[in-house]
Structure 1
Amino acid sequence: MAAKAAKKDAVLAAATELALAAVTEVADPGTVGAHEGFVMDEERLGTHYFTCTAAGYRGWRWAVSVARAPRAKTATICETHLVPGEDSLLSPEWLPWAERLRPGDVGPGDVTPKIDDDPYLVAGFEATGDEDVDQLAQWELGLGRPRVLSGEGREAAAQRWYDGDHGPKATVALKASATCSTCGYFVPMTGALRPVFGVCANEWSPSDGSVVSLDHGCGAHSEVDIDAPEPERIGEPVLDETLVDEL
């Protein structure tokens, strides 16, 4: 059922000059424009609106709330404030600090908040007492760690790496004449990511110390060479006999 509209109040609607004086008193000089209208909010409570002409506040309006006591013949000011319109310039929606962090934001001394329900992590493996099973799990499932990478987390990381600066679509890879899979400095990864990724161990490579895809590449490939340039010929040496060195 729709809410009943507030009854019109002639006293409040006529309080334009009172509202203008109130907002002019609190606003910066020259920032209060024309009267835009009056709206009833509740019984004996309404709001006068004035255009805000301040620079940087396009679409904003000054709002002055006025009220009237029962059987009173005069209006009183409740409050004055700025309110945005439909096309007003607004600040981004506020987010908690933990949600504002982005990859690359963490610096020395920074600590990221723990995410208890992180979909990229699952509970780590607990010892079963079976020596063979536990020895395998220690390396494959992360024995001793509370949580380990989930399948979803592994897929997300793999896609991010493959699409990034150390995958096959990077500019340096597109210009390379050979891939990392045939480079002697390529160190294969272990586990489920081994068929696609490894680590570059070539200090001359821009990918040194980074995870690279097998089909990545760069100009520092161990088996790629360049044609030796022809030695520069400068002709016979010239002896200058017109000058004498002072000793």
Structure 2
Amino acid sequence: MAKGVKVPKKDDAVLTAATEQALEAAISIAEPGTVGEHMGFAMDGERIGTHYFACTSTAYRGWRWAITLARAPRAKTATVCETNLVPGEGALLSPEWLPWSERLAPGDIGPGDVTPKIEDDPLLEAGFEATGEEDVDQMAQWELGLGRPRVLSAEGREAAAQRWYDGDHGPRAAVATKAPANCSTCGFFVPMAGVLRQTFGVCASEWSPSDGTVVSLDHGCGAHSEVDVATPEPEKILPPILDEMALKPI
């Protein structure tokens, strides 16, 4: 036989016919009334196979009772090996388990929470090039004004920039689409340092909904420093009219 070709599992008449034995085993472990019709039998290996029964419990729709039977060589009877409740087609399953460090999402970190350190984070790179001499490396680090072992990598800057630009402080935010002018011409716009200066800055207007946050040059709001609105004329309040004819003298 050609290498890699799967050999079909040989049918076993004793195991195939042991439906009632498998049903009794399923009933013995299931809640009363939750074992339904027989859904078939499949050989798992030589002299071992599994009978499947529907699970009628409303909490486990789409699941099946799986009763695995085996037969010893030359034996005429089957033996129950395992009893399980397994998911079938369309069964409701829990999400794939992930470590808590991978389940964290933006906004999940609260007071006192600490995120795990990622040693090989692609969003970061070394803050300086190491020479191997500890004294020289430390001096170079502080002379560069970094004081940090790692800084944003090009990938990290690009990811942050895209996130900011697509967020609530980019050009497509609702407040920006209705703004009379862009942040690039506002006196309260403080440009960022470095390469991000070309696209982003920080809003310093206490009247703006973006105060203290990163905004794009083409963001905007109604608190723009150079935009004015027509001052409405003050409403004239007339003195009250006294109808003396309607008064009755005392």
- With the shorter chain as reference, the TM-score category is 0.7 to 0.9
Q: Deviations over 1:77-124 (max 9, x none)?
A: 112111222332222211111111122221111111111111111111
Does the Cα contact within 8 Å between 1:127 and 1:134 map onto a contact in 2?
A: no
* Pair 1:188-2:172 in alignment: no
1:218 aligns with 2:221: yes
Distance 2:209 2:191 in 1: 18
Name the counterpart of 2:57: 54
Report the TM-score when normalising by structure 1.
Answer: 0.86
Deviation of 1:183 (Å)? 1.4
Matching residue within 62, 65, 68 for 2:68: 65
Displacement of 1:150: 0.8
CA distance, structure 1, for counterparts of residue 142 and residue 172 of structure 2? 39
**Counterpart residue number, 2:45:** 42
Once residues 109 and 135 of structure 1 are traced to their aligned partners in structure 2, the CA distance between those partners, rounded to angstroms, is: 30
Relative to 1, partners in 2 of residues 1:79 and 1:240: Cα closer, same or farther, differing over 3 Å? farther
Distance 1:37 1:216 in 2: 63
The structure-2 alpha-carbon separation of the partners of 1:45 and 1:8, relative to structure 1 and needing over 3 Å to count, comes to: same
Structure 1 contact 6–41 (Cα < 8 Å) conserved: yes
Matches within 5 A, 1:96-245: 96-125=99-128, 137-138=144-145, 142=146, 144-237=147-240
Deviation at 1:35, TM superposition (A): 0.6
Change (3 A) 1:127 1:44: closer
**Secondary structure at 1:24's aligned position in 2?**
helix
Question: In the aligned structure 2, how far is the partner of 1:127 from the partner of 1:52?
Answer: 63
Q: 2:90 aligns with which of 59, 76, 87?
A: 87
The residue type paired with residue 172 of structure 2 is K
Unaligned runs of 5+ in 1: 243-247
Map Cα deviations across residues 121-146 of structure 1 (whole Å, 9 max, x no partner): 111115886xxx878732xxx2x211
Cα distance in 1 between the residues matched to 2:63 and 2:181: 60
**Residue 245 of structure 1 aligns with which residue?**
none
- Count of paired positions: 237
The aligned amino acid for 1:35 is: H
Are 1:67 and 1:75, in contact at CA under 8 Å, matched by a contact in 2?
yes
4+ aligned runs moved over 4 Å, structure 1: 126-129, 133-136, 238-242
Instruction: Give the Cα separation in 2 of the matches to 1:42 and 1:2.
Output: 16
2:27 to 24, 29, 45: 24
Q: TM-score, normalised by structure 2?
A: 0.85
Displacement of 1:4: 3.1
Structure 2: any 5+ residue segments left out of the alignment? none
Q: Percent of counterpart pairs with the same letter?
A: 72
Asked whether the 8 Å contact 1:64–1:80 carries over to 2, the reply is yes
